[in-house]
Amino acid sequence: MTPVDGLINCRRCPRLVLQRESVAPRKGLQSEDYWNRPVPGFGDPAARICLVGLAPGAHGANRTGRPFTGDGAGDFMYPLLYRAGLASQPEALHAGDGLELNDIYITNAVKCLPPENKPVAAEFTACRPLLAEDLAVLKRLRVIITLGSGAHTSVLHLLKTEGLVGRLADYRFGHAASYRLADGRWLLSSYHTSRYNVQTRRISPAMFLDVLALAKDLADGSHDDADLR
C-alpha cells in the first residue's frame, strides 16, 4: 500500500467520514461524480513553496479529489498562481485537466470535508501527521504559506513539536506576515482565498499576488539576512 492509498482510505475522524460521504450533489451531478474521500496534496515534488489550506470544499476538492479544484477558492487562486509562474495554466477544472504546478505544492491541514468548513481541534490533531508527511517529502522546501488562521495554527503546532518555533504567540496570523523558523526556512501567512473573503474584499488578486511574490523572494533567500527569531 502506498502512502496515498493509506491516506485516501483513512477513516480516523468519524464526524468527517460521515460528512464527506453524505454531501448532496450539485444539481445535475450524482454521488458517483464525487470523490468523497481524503484529498491528497498536489503539486511539484521539488517545490520550494508549500501552500497549506484549511480543508477540502464540499463541491471543490471533495468533488474533484484535488485541492482547490472546482470551487470559488480555486477559481480565484489558480489564475493567480499562473500569473506568478507557479502553474502551467490558469484553469483548474478537474483532476485530469493537465494542470501542473511549478515550485509549489498545495495541501490542506485537514484532508476531509468538515461540516460548515470548521474542523474541530481533535480533527486538526488527528490529521497533523498527514500534514507532516506532506512537508517531509518536500526536500527542497523553503517557505510554508498558511492560508487562513486555522491552517496557520495547525502548522504552528506541528512546527512546535519539531522544535522549529518558540512561543506560539510570537507567530501571529496576519496577511503577508512572515517568520523565520529555527532551521532557516520561512512561515508566511495569508488570508484565505475563499469565495466569502473575495466577495467581501478581505483579499484581492493584488494582495494574493503580493504574498506569492514574497514567497518566491523568501525561497530565493532574498530575506535570509533578516534576524532569526
CB–CB of 103/47 below 8 Å?
Answer: yes
Residue 13 in the binding site for ligand SF4 (CB under 6 A): yes
Residue from the set 49, 87, 106, 130 that interacts with ligand SF4 by CB under 6 A? 130
Report in angstroms how near the CB of residue 7 gets to ligand SF4 at its nearest.
6
CB–CB of 188/144 below 8 Å? yes
Virtual torsion, Cα 177, 197, 73, 83, nearest 10 deg: -60
Which residue lies nearer to ligand SF4 by CB, 143 or 155?
Answer: 155
C-alpha cell read off for 8: 485516501
How many residues are listed for the chain in this entry?
Answer: 229
Distances (CA, A) of 122 to 3, 113, 125, 140, 177: 22, 14, 5, 30, 27
- Of the candidate spans 13-21, 24-32, 67-75, 96-104, the one that interacts with ligand SF4 by CB under 6 A turns out to be 13-21
What b/e readout covers 81-92, taking b as 16+ CB neighbours within 10 angstroms?
A: bbebebbeeeeb
Confirm or reject binding of residue 16 to ligand SF4 (CB under 6 A): yes
- The secondary element (H helix, E strand) that includes residue 157 is helix 149-161
If the CB atoms of residues 133 and 217 are measured against ligand SF4, the closer one turns out to be 133
> Whole-number minimum distance, CB 49 to ligand SF4, in Å?
23
CB of 89 to ligand SF4, least distance (A): 28
Contact call for residue 38 and ligand SF4 (CB under 6 A) = yes
Residues 65-124 that bind ligand SF4 (CB under 6 A): 110-112, 123
For residues 192 to 221, the per-residue mask of contacts with ligand SF4, x marking binding by CB under 6 A and - elsewhere, is ------------------------------
Among 35, 46, 74, 127, binds ligand SF4 (CB under 6 A): 127
Q: Which stretch binds ligand SF4 (CB under 6 A): 5-13, 58-66, 138-146, 184-192?
A: 5-13
- Closest Cα partner for 183 from 163, 161, 160? 163
List strand residue ranges (DSSP E) for the chain, in order. 42-43, 49-53, 104-108, 143-147, 177-180, 186-190
Size of the residue set binding ligand SF4 (CB under 6 A): 14
Sheet holding 143-147, edge to edge: 42-43, 104-108, 49-53, 143-147, 186-190, 177-180
Instruction: Give the binding range for ligand SF4 (CB under 6 A) out of 6-14, 173-181, 187-195, 196-204.
Output: 6-14
Tell me which residues touch ligand SF4 (CB under 6 A). Answer: 10-13, 16-17, 38, 110-112, 123, 126-127, 130
